[in-house]
């Protein structure tokens, strides 16, 4: 049902800005409910831009995953306007030959661990810090 609803939308429009207070409350609520879980994941701009620059890419799917070390991580991949993961795309070479290239499937994000920064973050986006 959810996938059908998403496919009826223009997928590049999915997501919206929320207030700092709501963001802080949502993060705090998750951490309260899941005190031993990772507090988040950091992904750099370069890989996000590379994924979004692929032909036909309108967004990114993020999948919870376990890496080779047994650590919780994310695998992320571009999505086309029909909601399909982009795993290959066509490229016209300099000699005019059309070939299929593997799309980017990414990982190596940095997990965010607890500490003073987390409380500062919640207070800062709530406008208290």
| Whole-number percent of the chain with pLDDT over 70 | 81
Pick the closest to residue 76 from 99, 108, 39 (CA basis). 108
pLDDT tens, position by position, 21-35:
888 888 888 888 988
* Prediction pTM value: 0.76
Q: Give 21-84 as a DSSP string.
A: HHHHHHHHHHHHH-TTS--EEE--HHHHHHHHTSTT--EEEEEEEE-TTS-EEEEEEEE-TTS-
Please check the confidence at residue 125 and state whether its pLDDT lies above 80: no
Q: What is the pLDDT of residue 75?
A: 94
Q: What is the pLDDT of residue 9?
A: 77
Q: Domain map of the chain by residue range? A: 1-39+113-129, 42-111
- Out of 43-47, 48-52, 120-124, which region has the weakest mean confidence (pLDDT)? 120-124
Label residue 118 left, alpha or beta by phi (over 0 means left) and psi (-120 to 50 means alpha): alpha
pLDDT tens, position by position, 57-83:
999 999 999 889 888 889 999 999 999
Residue 115 gets which letter from DSSP? S
């Amino acid at each position: 049902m959810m996938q059908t609803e998403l496919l009826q939308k223009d997928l590049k429009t999915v997501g919206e800005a929320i207030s700092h207070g709501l963001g802080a409350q949502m993060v705090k609520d998750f951490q309260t409910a899941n005190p031993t879980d990772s507090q988040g994941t950091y992904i750099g701009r370069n890989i996000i831009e590379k994924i979004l620059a692929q032909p036909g890419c309108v967004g990114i799917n993020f999948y919870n995953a376990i890496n080779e070390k047994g650590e919780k991580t994310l695998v992320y991949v571009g999505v086309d306007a029909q909601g399909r993961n982009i795993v290959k795309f066509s490229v016209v070479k300099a000699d005019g030959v059309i070939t299929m290239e593997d799309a980017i499937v990414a990982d190596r994000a940095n997990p965010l661990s607890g500490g003073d920064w987390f409380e500062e973050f919640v207070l800062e986006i709530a406008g208290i810090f």
